[in-house]
Amino acid sequence: MISPATRSFAPPAVPIPVSAAVPVDPERSARRGAAVGDVVLDAGSFWGRRQQVNGEATLAHCLEWMERLGWLENFDRVARGEFTHERAGWQFSDSEIYKLLEAMSWELGRRRETPEEDAQLTATFEALVERVAAAQDDDGYLGTAFGHPGLPDRYSDLAMGHELYNMGHLLQAAVARVRTHGHDTLVAVARLAADHICDEFGEGRREGICGHPEIEVALAEFGRALGEDRYIDQARLFVERRGHGTLPVRPLLSAEYFQDDVPVREAEALRGHAVRALYLSAGAADIAVHDDDDELLDALRRQWDRTIERRTYVTGGMGSRHQDEGFGDDWELPADRAYCETCAGVGSVMFSWRMYLATGDIRYVDLIERTLFNVVATSPREDGRAFFYANPLHQREAGSEPTAGVNTRAEGGSRAPWFEVSCCPTNVARTLASLPAYVAAVEGDTVVLLQYAAGRISLGGFVLDIQSSYPDDGIVRITVVGAPDDEAGVRLRIPAWAADAIVSDPGSPSRAVQAGWADIRRQFTQGDEIVLDLRIRPRFTYSDRRVDAVRGTVAVERGPLVLCLESTDLDEGVPLEAVFVDTSVEPVASGDGATVGAMIADVDGPITGTLPYGTFRPSPSIAAVRDVALVPYHRWAERGPSSMRVFIPTADGLDTMADADTR
Amino acid sequence: MISPATRSFAPPAVPIPVSAAVPVDPERSARRGAAVGDVVLDAGSFWGRRQQVNGEATLAHCLEWMERLGWLENFDRVARGEFTHERAGWQFSDSEIYKLLEAMSWELGRRRETPEEDAQLTATFEALVERVAAAQDDDGYLGTAFGHPGLPDRYSDLAMGHELYNMGHLLQAAVARVRTHGHDTLVAVARLAADHICDEFGEGRREGICGHPEIEVALAEFGRALGEDRYIDQARLFVERRGHGTLPVRPLLSAEYFQDDVPVREAEALRGHAVRALYLSAGAADIAVHDDDDELLDALRRQWDRTIERRTYVTGGMGSRHQDEGFGDDWELPADRAYCETCAGVGSVMFSWRMYLATGDIRYVDLIERTLFNVVATSPREDGRAFFYANPLHQREAGSEPTAGVNTRAEGGSRAPWFEVSCCPTNVARTLASLPAYVAAVEGDTVVLLQYAAGRISLGGFVLDIQSSYPDDGIVRITVVGAPDDEAGVRLRIPAWAADAIVSDPGSPSRAVQAGWADIRRQFTQGDEIVLDLRIRPRFTYSDRRVDAVRGTVAVERGPLVLCLESTDLDEGVPLEAVFVDTSVEPVASGDGATVGAMIADVDGPITGTLPYGTFRPSPSIAAVRDVALVPYHRWAERGPSSMRVFIPTADGLDTMADADTR
């Protein structure tokens, strides 16, 4: 619809350094993350393998589905001006194409030495962009669910229409593209869309916000990427407009759901729809840093603190409720119906990453690690062609094999190829494709190792070779291949769970290091070797007594991994609920998981039709005592549908209690 | 729209005995419930007081709201033929008017000696019926959300349209009317509607079912009330059509939600939307009894048994999930997000009542008592002008005062005057108005006392005077005012919770009676006095270990009442989660509740931003040891917004544990 001429715009005021391939680049921050090309992960490493599957399978998988369901054709139909009410997909389906474009951009940016595949992916990417561009209106508006014949008017449903949300993802894709490749059609299309949004929603114009935050964080980064303050100003406006109840009331949905109940700078905790809350917080963090706005940053820190302490799962998962996909109240952290949407995991990484860049606080990076290993890595199946939408910590009934068609959103206990609301697959894809950016950072003359993975890091004048089978064990061997000429620093993250880590470096004897940052500072020379041993072994994890849902249970963690008990590993006929862990015996590492001592109770029997409540303390009789195997949570249900639990009841007092008597 | 002439129809084949004022009357059953006029409850008794408030306040309250919101005017607009898309209310709002008409009918039927009020209520009732009748189409169709100019076509959305659901409630209202009063316009309107439904959905016609069961139970009873087998046949057809996936698939909603996943006679447990499941089960029970269909009855018994054992709360509440208002999996019984919709409580009473009439099994009546005292009685505020929609067993944050306007469905911890989806108030109203019917039954020459309440029961040739302050204490004094000439029986229900009940009667010395039926059989004479002492005292109640959500807690019950801890009864500054019950000390009756020994822990502190999980068993330090008061659950939040919990952590092992250490 838009003429090609319109899309060739003036170059940005500040030239883009193409090498600056980072998802987040707050120019006023004391630290800066690695560019996606700065970190090359070994193909055999935990994350390297996942990146490879993502590039080889997931990207194509997402494209196939969106083509099959007509989500892409929506753009063609708008371009041809032929539209009817029977549009395919939800009103936010455009965003999935944009998230895929973002993933493709990062993937192209991080790849090395695969020119043939690159050419193919580039061609696919460009063809997609052409179809998107063709649907753009002359004034920059881009959307296939509103504003064309047969569709509702533009911005006629700000609460649920997702128009700005969609265009936000377009801008994020353009950020990835401009930083990995430079200016092209996608960037031009995004710029026109951003200008349109500023014209439409700027100061003194339409006083609206979008029911689903995303445009905030997108405009902020797009503004930074193009050096255009106008976009950042518009992002600020959207952030500040929230919390004043300007969105129209919707039946059965609260202002909290839409993040329109309390202004960001006044809120005490993340609440309402988890993904909405986290995307908004990420955008607000961008604005706080850009504006040196300590009040806003403090508000975000306060909300993060409360949310971590009282509304976050041991996996890093966020969102306790299926209803409204929302955060729960403080301490409302049920294991069995934990929603922990995969996208909330992605949103949490986005928020915490910005907070780390702003403050240098290690807690943000610890949470990112926890979330990456136990939420983001849990979602995709090993082959990258099926996904979890929700990530509960307890599945009582084994899921069934997913249907061949589109699956419902979040039920089931089985990874599904695609969903009616299919936000998670592309969110995983863009996160995995940009993952190198979160592995290391530079602060002054110091390179900071944030996540441990075998590979090579070229950053801050250093070239570091990392050898490690992390997280299978905790030994990380860092060889200096290249170093700055002057004295410089290498900073290591010692995670909070590492109780007795040891570091050795050529300049000094091995020493114990506390959880926190461990700094090594000197003149480095080629061949120097730093060895960090995080001494990973399985450990019992108990919950705060205020987390009612898991009282009397224990979880087992091993390094950054949360483990789980899966029915697959139990003897035939032993149900999950028969297992009680003996905490007097320490868990033992086994494979990539652990074994624990357990009592197997005799809990089954005929159904009696009596309520599960009685006047005597129930105590099942013990049928067996044996070890049971636990596996990493991220790979549950990889061996077929299973029941599963992270928090396992302890055997405390089992033998001394009277027999069950329920009425 | 329909001419008055059409509404004057031929009288039914079998004349209606007006005295037969029972909600459920399976003619082939060995037992029969009391008519609403057979039992007169003392105004000062637990249920008598609630009936009075219902009649004096709730009926008018519901009418006011429906008038204010335009739900009644919908009928007028259809009658005038002026309709647009801006119809007020949800597509099921018609049913609320019908449920109110049903409540009014029972209320008029049970009332004695209040001619003035009766005349006023009768006038209101008749005026309402006129407005409803005026909206009926010539062919009997009645509905204000479909099938008229400006509205979607009839039956164009069977899954969510609720057209048959609405007309089902119309039939239930007509049952109440015909059995308490006889034929009138309402009954005629209902008959036309029922005929229309049979014509439209009968054998060989449209193969549809309604997304929300209700028409099944309604047609069955309407058929019995009018002696029309055609309606019962249609009910059977609707029951048998379910579970074959005939309803169109809806985004994000499962066949389970609509009770269309498994045929009734094949299902193993109640599942999906709780109210839908329970209404359907009630209708299926009617058909099973009518047809002497043991297979179907066994299927219902099996589902009841499993549901009671694994999917029912200690309150009798059903429905664990906010999402889809649904049952959970087995053992999924969280206290904090327990949905336990008030209407599911009503549906549970409907289902269990039919199962009792069919089988005589006391467990059904025990569950009815539990549900009436702890779900149905919990919903309405003392003044009958505000209601709980959901009935959670744990409220972490005190609710806020409800808004003056329409409230969202089910959140908040405060009773609200009205809801967007306002099914519960009228459901409570019709249940309270018909409550006498559930108090006693006749089986052969035996009168069965099912629920204990002060008042007078005239049934089966007996006139019994009941004196009791039940449930405040367990003494029930039954004086025979009139008795049959021959030998006859009085059967007493000894609830499952009554561990050491005693009964004394003139013919024999006091004796201990076990839980179950206690029979007294002889020639009774006027003045005979039977005294039952159920020895009500507070008791600790433990949960089956498989109910994960409340492991390590205890509840306190007192007779049929579940008690709860309310923040209102704690010292200023002591949060709910600081209380740990000392189970080594028995609870003591106090007022209408109890006191328990407790340890008050020091659980508060600054928010640290560390996860609520750590490697040491957390154990708060004990700040105080004292008694705390518990109140009946049914009156929580009557003293203003509060936090509340039914299941309270036990203090077991608190003193011996190491200090909390969370990271």
Show residues of chain A in contact with B551, CB under 8 Å: 551-553, 649
Of A433, A438, A437, residue with least CA distance to A105 = A433
pLDDT number for residue A620: 79
Nearest residue, CB atoms, B614 vs list A336, A409, A542? A542
pLDDT at res. A656: 37
**A542, A574, A650, best to mutate vs chain B, most B CBs in 10 Å:** A542
| Residue ranges of B 415-434 with Cβ closer than 8 A to chain A | 420-421
Q: Sign of the C-alpha dihedral, residues A159, A162, A167, A168?
A: positive
- Average pLDDT score over residue span A119-134: 97
Q: Which residue out of A548, A645, A650 would a mutagenesis test of the B interface target, given it has the greatest number of B Cβ atoms within 10 Å?
A: A548
* Minimal-distance CA residue of chain A relative to B662: A544
Task: State the nearest Cα–Cα gap between A428 and chain B, in angstroms.
Answer: 22
Nearest CB to A332: which of B396, B652, B660?
A: B396
Q: Are residues B610 and A309, on separate chains, in Cβ contact within 8 Å?
A: yes
CB B96 within 8 A of CB B62: yes
Higher pLDDT, B318 or B150: B318
Q: Which ipTM did the prediction report? A: 0.92
B254 in contact with A, Cβ within 8 Å = yes
- The residue that leads in pLDDT, B455 or B248, is B455
A68-82 confidence digits (pLDDT tens): 999 999 999 999 988
B305 CA: distance to closest CA in chain A (Å): 4
| A16 alpha carbon, distance to own chain's centre | 27
Contact B551 A649 (CB under 8 A): yes
Q: What does the pLDDT read at residue A112?
A: 59
Pairing of the two strands B508-513 and B516-522: unpaired
A443-460, pLDDT tens digit by residue?
999 999 999 999 999 999
- Closest partner CB to A545 (pick from B542, B547, B618): B618
Chain A, chain B: beta-carbon pairs less than 8 Å apart: 213
**CA B492-B498-B500 angle, 5° bins:** 100
Q: Residue B620 is nearest to which of A540, A545, A649, comparing CB atoms?
A: A545
The answer on pLDDT for A641 being more than 70 is yes
Res. A3: pLDDT tops 90: no
Which of A331, A403, A546, A576 should one mutate to test binding to chain B, selecting the residue with the greatest count of B CBs within 10 A? Answer: A546
Which one is the CATH code of B440-533: 1.10.1060, 2.60.40, 1.20.1260, 3.90.1310?
Answer: 2.60.40
* A612–B309 CB contact, under 8 Å: yes
Contacts of B321 in chain A (CB under 8 A): 322-323, 337
In the predicted model, what is the mean pLDDT of residues B285-290?
97
Contact between A331 and B396 using a beta-carbon 8 Å cutoff: yes
Vertex A39: Cα angle to A214 and A111 (nearest 5): 80
Residue A540 at interface with chain B, using a CB cutoff of 8 Å: yes
Is B584's Cβ below 8 Å from some Cβ in A?
A: no
According to CATH, where is 2.60.40 located in chain B? 440-533
Is the Cβ of A305 closer than 8 Å to some Cβ of chain B?
yes
Q: Does B644 touch chain A (CB under 8 A)?
A: no
Could you report the per-residue pLDDT of B243-285, keeping only the tens digit for each? 998 898 777 788 999 999 999 999 999 999 999 999 999 999 9
Q: How far are the Cα atoms of A555, A587, A593 from residue A630, in angstroms, in the given order?
A: 10, 10, 5
**Can you read off the two tokens belonging to residue B351?**
């289902």
Pick the residue with more confidence: B448 or A622?
B448
Look at A610 and B314 and tell me if their CB atoms are within 8 Å. Answer: no
- Domain(s) labelled CATH 2.60.40 in chain A stretch across 441-533
Q: What is the pLDDT of residue B85?
A: 64
Strand B593-602 to B621-632 pairing:
antiparallel
Q: What is the strand order of the sheet B440-443 is part of?
A: B31-33, B440-443, B446-449, B488-494, B516-522
Q: Is A613 on the interface with B (CB under 8 A)?
A: yes
Is the pLDDT score of B658 beyond 60? Answer: no
- Please state the φ and ψ torsions of residue B582, each to the nearest 5 degrees: -85, 105
Q: How far apart are CA A185 and CA A133, in angstroms?
A: 8
In chain B, residues with a C-beta closer than 8 Å to the C-beta of A332 are: 336-337, 396
A622 contacts chain B (CB < 8 A): no
Residue B493, pLDDT > 90, answer yes
pLDDT per residue as tens digits for the range A189-243: 999 999 999 999 999 999 999 999 999 999 999 999 999 999 999 999 999 999 9
Q: What is the structure's pLDDT at A16?
A: 53
If pLDDT is split at 50, 70 and 90, which confidence band does A658 have?
Answer: very low
Q: Which of B90, B306, B324, B337 to mutate to test the interface with A (most CBs of A within 10 A)?
A: B337
- Residue B308 touches partner A, C-beta closer than 8 Å: yes
Please list, in sequence order, all residues whose beta carbon lies within 8 angstroms of the beta carbon of residue B430, skipping any fewer than 6 positions away: B99, B100, B102, B103, B106, B172, B176, B346
Average pLDDT rounded to a whole number, residues A534-563: 97
Count of positions (residues) in chain A: 663
Say whether residue A577 is in contact with chain B using an 8 A CB cutoff: yes
Position of tokens 């502190």?
B605
Q: Residues 352 to 381 of A: which have CB under 8 A from any B CB?
A: 363
The answer to whether the Cβ–Cβ distance between A618 and B544 falls below 8 Å is yes
**A652 interaction partners in chain B (CB closer than 8 Å):** 653
* Minimum-distance CB partner of B329 among A397, A549, A603: A397
The SS3 assignment for A141 reads coil
Q: Is residue B314 less than 8 Å (CB to CB) from chain A?
A: yes
Residue pLDDT, tens place only, A356-399 = 999 999 999 999 999 999 999 999 999 999 999 999 999 999 98
Rounded CA-CA distance B409/B390 in Å is 8
Residue B545 contacts A, CB cutoff 8 Å: yes
Could you please state the CATH topology (level 3) that the domain comprising A441-533 is classified under: Immunoglobulin-like (2.60.40)
Residue with more model confidence, B659 or B494: B494
Q: Is B540 on the interface with A (CB under 8 A)?
A: yes
* Alpha carbons A350 and A354: distance in angstroms, whole number: 6
Contact between B547 and A612 using a beta-carbon 8 Å cutoff = yes
Say if the Cβ atoms of A420 and B615 lie within 8 Å. Answer: no
Q: Where does the pLDDT of residue B509 fall: very low under 50, low under 70, confident under 90, or very high at 90 and above?
A: confident
Q: What is the pLDDT of residues B530-584, one digit of tens each?
A: 999 999 999 999 999 999 999 999 999 999 999 999 999 999 989 999 999 999 9
**Shortest CB distance from B612 goes to which of A302, A309, A616?**
A309
For residue B659, pLDDT over 70 is answered with no
Q: What is the spatial distance between Cα B330 and Cα B333, in angstroms, rounded to a whole number?
A: 8
**In this model, does residue B408 exceed pLDDT 90?**
no
Of A329, A408, A542, the CB nearest to B616: A542
Mean pLDDT of chain B: 92
What DSSP designation does A56 have? I
CA distance A49 to chain B (A): 29
Q: Shortest CB distance from A396 goes to which of B254, B330, B337?
A: B330
CB contact under 8 A, A613 and B553: no
Q: How confident is the model at residue B113 (pLDDT cuts 50, 70, 90)?
A: low
Assess whether the previous peptide bond of A471 is cis (omega < 30° from 0): yes
* Per-residue confidence band for B20, with pLDDT thresholds at 50, 70 and 90: confident
Instruction: Give strand pairing partners of A520.
Output: A490
Model confidence band, residue B616 (pLDDT cutoffs 50, 70, 90): confident
Chain B contact present for A619, CB below 8 A: yes
Q: Where are the alpha helices (DSSP H) in A274-341?
A: 274-291, 294-310
More confident residue, B429 or A28: B429
Q: How many CB atoms lie within 10 A of CB B27?
A: 9
Categorize the per-residue pLDDT at B359 as very low, low, confident or very high, splitting at 50, 70 and 90.
very high
Instruction: Examine the pLDDT at B125 and tell me if it is beyond 80.
Output: yes
Distance from the A308 Cα atom to the nearest Cα atom in chain B, whole angstroms: 5
- Taking an 8 Å cut-off on Cβ atoms, the answer to whether B305 and A607 are in contact is yes
Q: List Cβ neighbours of A510 (8 Å cut-off, separation of 6 or more).
A: A502, A503, A504
Instruction: State whether the Cα torsion A355-A361-A363-A368 is positive or negative.
Output: positive
Minimum distance, in Å, between the CA of residue B490 and any CA atom of chain A: 26
**What is the DSSP secondary-structure string of A219-253?**
HHHHHHHHT-HHHHHHHHHHHHHTTS--SPPBTTB
Tell me which chain A residues have a C-beta less than 8 angstroms from the C-beta of B653.
Answer: 652-653
**Summary mean pLDDT of chain A:** 92
Out of A175-184, A452-461, B106-115, B332-341, which region has the weakest mean confidence (pLDDT)? B106-115
Q: In this predicted model, what pLDDT tens digit does every residue of A404-442 receive, in sequence order?
A: 777 876 666 889 999 988 999 999 999 999 999 999 999
Q: Which residues in chain B have their CB less than 8 angstroms from residue A544's CB?
A: 612-614, 618, 660, 662
Mutation pick from A305, A545, A561 vs chain B, by most beta carbons of B within 10 Å, is: A545
Residue B14 has pLDDT above 60, yes or no: no
* CA–CA distance, A215 with A232 (Å, rounded to integer): 11
